[in-house]
Amino acid sequence: MPTITFIRADGRNERVEAEIGESAMRAAVVHGVDGIVAECGGSALCATCHVYVDDKWISRLAAVGDDEDALLDGTASERQTNSRLSCQITITLELDGLVLRLPERQV
Amino acid sequence: MVTTGSAGFVGGRARSASGSVLSGIPGLDIDPFAIEFFENPYPAQEALREAGPVVHLDKWKVYAVARYAEVYAVLNDPLTFCSSRGVGLSDFAKEKPWRPPSLILEADPPAHTRTRAVLNRVLSPAVMKQIRDGFAAAAEAKVDELLAKGSFDAVADLAEAYPLSVFPDAVGLKPEGREHLLPYAGVVFNAFGPPNELRQTAIERSQPHQAYVQEQCQRDNLAPGGFGACIHARVDAGDITAAEAPMLVRSLLSAGIDTTVNGIGAAIYCLARFPEEFARLRNDPSLARNAFEEAVRFESPVQTFFRTTTKDVNIGGCGVGEGEKILMFLGAANRDPRRWVDPERYDITRKTSGHVGFGAGIHMCVGQLVARLEGEVMLAALARKVAAIEIAAPVKRRYNNTLRGLDSLRIALTPA
């Protein structure tokens, strides 16, 4: 199974195993990663599963969609060029080792 | 009244709406739209969950799912379980809807995708940032006013009064006639139920409320900058037609008030019943948002919705034919021990993500961010200003075919 590393705002890491085809958000919630709130449970509505994608990985992800783009304008922590919603990142074999940084706030 | 875990179970055979005998699907004589059920739904909800992954409610000749996994699966498969034949018991393919169908709630993709996108943007996280301070200030002022009173009805004076003080203004409604808003929503949510007295009476009396709502949805009646005007502005952008815009405003007026009234009412009722949780909230008011979310899971203000099968389907190993209504018990799913640890406990630090109190999937409540904002700022204000909430008189339940909530909740507040 691909692994994802979540780096919290305080620098601590959590590595989780993700199922292929599930979202990075789902992997975080299943493993109880603090810092991913996911109020809407993956319906692409709430912008509370915001992550900053590690520079090395950003170009390997599918492009930001229009809905995600609009939602990212409403994140609680500042939007940056590498901001994504983790519910919109689908895990593939190629994403094994993905590194996602968590913002200070989700709400 | 249903009082035991197996009450209502009448055997392993049920009849479909077309009359054929079905194998493997238990038939139950539970009526989830009866007063006794509303008074205490939990034993019957347990019976519904434990009878099987899908059950048949003989009284209304309808299939139902009450376990979390099946409710979640039905919500997330809108092509198989459609909404365009109505999300109440009434099948729009067989019966004329009581009002013109909603362009969003009672629509399927691809039609739904376009109208939904408009409301998503009007009620987006970015818009919530703009209205947040105003909603928070109004909550603070409301709590100060109620502390001065000391003892009051938390339904009328808080759970209704607060949303009514912020949401209609946010939509851009005129001040006149707002007394129609709660009765209109009451009709809408009763009308999803079966043709019982609640539904029939509500629809019979609905005309003045419908007339008010239809009028307020017109562009000229909506203040600039409000949610309503923002919807109409999408006509100019070419996203929706001039005929569609008032119908989308209607969705806000149908589902934007009574739901938050019952959500906030549920949260107050929880915090009054579980003082140790209120103490935790006072200790850390940043838990306010999750305390509200957990109240939505715990009480499930919207208890049920229906879908209609678009083909023969298999639910949890049981076959259900095309064109059958499926009743989803959101409240039962939110207390399914298969999904939730200690589901009967109101725990303000629970990880609530995945509860279906706002639904799930493409039809998940489009106003959920407004609801959470209202709930969060109200509970945060209470946490900072109030030392104790005490129930001062026996509570009275309000009866509605879809909404769960109280008619009166007399409480006394002790200032912090």
Note the pLDDT of residue A96.
97
Quote helix, strand, coil % in chain B, to nearest 5.
50, 15, 35
Closest residue by Cα to residue B273 from B369, B182, B173, B394:
B394
- The answer to whether the CB of B397 falls within 8 A of the CB of B39 is yes
**Nearest Cβ partner of B120 from A29, A39, A45?**
A45
**Nearest Cβ partner of A74 from B124, B353, B364?**
B124
Sheet holding B151-153, edge to edge: B151-153, B410-415, B386-391
Evaluate the CA torsion angle B35, B272, B45, B376 in order and state its sign: positive
What is this structure's pTM? 0.94
Sheet holding A13-17, edge to edge: A13-17, A3-7, A98-101, A50-53, A83-85
Indicate yes or no: CB of B366 within 8 angstroms of CB of A45.
Answer: yes
Interface test with A, best of B120, B334, B353 (most A CBs within 10 A): B353
pLDDT per residue, tens digit, chain B (416 aa), is: 333 333 333 444 445 544 444 568 999 999 999 999 999 999 999 999 999 999 999 999 999 999 999 999 999 999 999 999 999 999 999 999 999 999 999 999 999 999 999 999 999 999 999 999 999 999 999 999 999 999 999 999 999 999 999 999 999 999 999 999 999 999 999 999 999 999 999 999 999 999 999 999 999 999 999 999 999 999 999 999 999 999 999 999 999 999 999 999 999 999 999 999 999 999 999 999 999 999 999 999 999 999 999 999 999 899 999 999 999 999 999 999 999 999 999 999 999 999 999 999 999 999 999 999 999 999 999 999 999 999 999 999 999 999 999 999 999 999 99
DSSP state, B145? H
Q: How far is CA B278 from CA B159, B381, B382, in A?
A: 17, 12, 9
Q: Can you tell me whether residue B138 is helix, strand or coil?
A: helix
Task: Find the closest chain A residue to B366 by CA distance.
Answer: A45
- CB count within 10 Å of CB B111 equals 12
What is the per-residue pLDDT across B252-283, written as a single tens digit (0 to 9) for each?
A: 999 999 999 999 999 999 999 999 999 999 99
Note the pLDDT of residue B164.
98
According to DSSP, the β-strands at A3-7 and A98-101 are parallel
For residues B278 and B201, what is the distance between their CA atoms, to the nearest angstrom?
Answer: 39
Closest residue by Cα to residue B122 from B171, B82, B56, B165:
B171
**Nearest Cβ partner of B289 from A45, A75, A107?**
A107
On whether ipTM exceeds 0.95, the answer is no
Indicate yes or no: CB of A74 within 8 angstroms of CB of B361.
Answer: no
Q: Which residues of A touch B289 (CB under 8 A)?
A: 107
For residues B28 and A51, what is the distance between their CA atoms, to the nearest angstrom?
Answer: 47
Interface test with B, best of A67, A106, A107 (most B CBs within 10 A): A107
Note the pLDDT of residue B19.
43
- Return all residues near B284 (Cβ < 8 A) that are at least 6 apart: none
Query: pLDDT averaged over chain A?
Result: 95
CA dihedral B292, A46, A35, A89 (to 10 degrees): 150
- Rounded to a whole number of angstroms, the distance from the CA of A92 to the nearest CA of chain B is 22
Note the pLDDT of residue B224.
98
Token pair of B79 as six digits: 């092509």
According to DSSP, the β-strands at A13-17 and A50-53 are unpaired
For residues B302 and B71, what is the distance between their CA atoms, to the nearest angstrom?
Answer: 14
Region A15-23: mean pLDDT is: 96
Q: Which residues of B touch A75 (CB under 8 A)?
A: 125
pLDDT over threshold 70, residue A45: yes
Indicate yes or no: CB of B353 within 8 angstroms of CB of A37.
Answer: yes
- Rounded to a whole number of angstroms, the distance from the CA of A106 to the nearest CA of chain B is 11
- The answer to whether the CB of B302 falls within 8 A of the CB of B333 is no
Beta-carbon pairs below 8 A across chains A and B: 51
- The answer to whether the CB of A86 falls within 8 A of the CB of B353 is no
Token pair of B407 as six digits: 């008619």
Closest residue by Cα to residue B366 from B181, B83, B116, B75:
B116
What is the per-residue pLDDT across B10-58, written as a single tens digit (0 to 9) for each?
A: 444 445 544 444 568 999 999 999 999 999 999 999 999 999 999 999 9
- CB count within 10 Å of CB B217 equals 23
Note the pLDDT of residue B246.
98
Note the pLDDT of residue B362.
96
